[in-house]
Amino acid sequence: MASVIDRAPLQIAISSAGNSPVLARKLRTLLETLVPSAYGRLAALAGRFRDASKRRYPDPEARRRFWEEVMDGPVAEMVLSGRERDAIDALQGKLDSGTDNKPPAGYVYLVGGGPGNPELLTLRALRVMQSASVVLYDHLVAPAIVDLVRRDAERIYVGKQASNHALPQQDINALMVRLAKEGKRVVRLKGGDPFIFGRGGEEIETLAANGVSFEVVPGITAACGAGAFAGIPLTHRDYAHSCVFVTGHLKDGSIDLDWDALARPMQTVVIYMGVHGLAMLGKQLIAHGLAARTPAALVEKATLPGQRVVAGTLATIADLAASENVRPPALLIVGEVVALRDKLAWYQPGRLEAAPRAENTPNPA
């Protein structure tokens, strides 16, 4: 029995001729991740135009070149990104016009790189990172993730720390438009999900206004990464029926949030960028009705080997953050679900650091 990878009408069969079905299955798993699921639809598109291509290019050599261009070019890319109607139009246009002498159209992928752990990238993110000609990335994108970008791609750090913008937002937007118009495949790599507190919307608005094609690749947002890796389910039938993500960005020393909406029972609140305003956050939530003993946890460097969870209550979390010296990136999770981590915390990084050799280490005490 062969293991089969089904991308109908495409099929890949793997057989070990009975020698090792387990090895054949392992190989199948490997190939499953390498072959995009949309290859089946790409094959179907080719099938649909097969007769037309024979009429247009009776010479088999010319026809092969035509199809190679299709499979390596924008038409295939459109199918992979789900723009099938555009792909059909483009393929028809290419058949009608013979060759396309137009320079290749640039393209921007707005990619969510997730919370930092490279294993949490989506397959789509990895694929587009490996086909990029240029990558623009923020400071929140972990180096291990930037390392996965195609080797010869140009890497541009565009930064963005609260006070230290490496490039102002308008310049980033303008740079993406310029690179795309030069025909580049631009990957705009952002931490977490690009549409969650990531200004992804603003960036693609500029692209749309300038007629640049783009695709958005979602990522695991920090709240989901932190919840999973800290053993805190963000919703739970017994403790939280809703979950709100807010940003605790300071505005004139105060935080502008709808406190009544946040201080609700049976709700989890996740606050991004909350490290500086913790004391005020705790006070406001208590003033608006949450119990002072409501569990609260700060998750620092979520999903990374350096992850740390500092847990307390709404009343104590600000002092704990100071005494434990919690540093960004960190986020705050507030709600009864936080207490579940006593039972559910499973991620214990840092146990396998290379131990310093006794003879050259000073007394650790």
Annotated active-site residue in 89, 94, 138, 147: 138
Total of residues contacting ligand SAH (CB under 6 A): 23
- Residue 331 found at the interface with ligand SAH (CB under 6 A): yes
Considering the complex, state which of residue 250 and residue 315 has its C-beta at the smaller distance from ligand SAH. Answer: 250
198 binds ligand SAH (CB under 6 A): yes
Establish if 330 lies at the interface with ligand SAH (CB under 6 A).
yes
* Catalytic hit among 6, 54, 100, 160: 160
Q: Residue 197 interacts with ligand SAH (CB under 6 A)? A: yes
Residue 243 touching ligand SAH (CB under 6 A): no
Active site residue 152: no
Q: Point out the residue whose Cβ comes nearest to ligand SAH.
A: 192
Three-state SS string across the chain, please? Answer: CCEEEEECCEEEEECCCCCCHHHHHHHHHHHHHHCCCCHHHHHHHHHHCHHHHHHHCCCHHHHHHHHHHHHHCHHHHHHHCCCHHHHHHHHHHHHHHCCCCCCCCCEEEEEECECCCHHHCCHHHHHHHCCCCEEEECCCCCHHHHCCCCCCCEEEECCCCCCCCCCCHHHHHHHHHHHHHCCCEEEEEECECCCCCCCHHHHHHHHHHCCCCEEEECCCCHHHHHHHHHCCCCCECCCECEEEEEECCEECCEECCCHHHHCCCCEEEEEECCCCCHHHHHHHHHHCCCCCCCEEEEEECCCCCCCEEEEEECCCHHHHHHHCCCCCCEEEEECHHHHHHHHHCCCCCCCCCCCCCHHHCCCCC
Q: Interface with ligand SAH includes 328 (CB under 6 A)?
A: yes
**231 part of the interface to ligand SAH, by CB under 6 A:** no
> Does the annotation count 51 as an active-site position?
no
Residue 193 in contact with ligand SAH, rule: CB under 6 A: yes
Give the shortest CB-343-to-ligand SAH separation in angstroms: 22
Nearer to ligand SAH, 129 or 331 (CB): 331
Q: Which of 87, 136, 186, 196 binds ligand SAH (CB under 6 A)?
A: 196
Q: Mark the segment that binds ligand SAH (CB under 6 A) among 5-13, 52-60, 99-107, 323-331.
A: 323-331
Q: Does residue 121 belong to the site contacting ligand SAH (CB under 6 A)?
A: no
**Residues with catalytic annotation?**
138, 160
Residues of this chain that interact with ligand SAH (CB under 6 A) are 115-116, 140, 190-193, 196-198, 221-222, 226, 272-273, 299, 301-303, 328-331
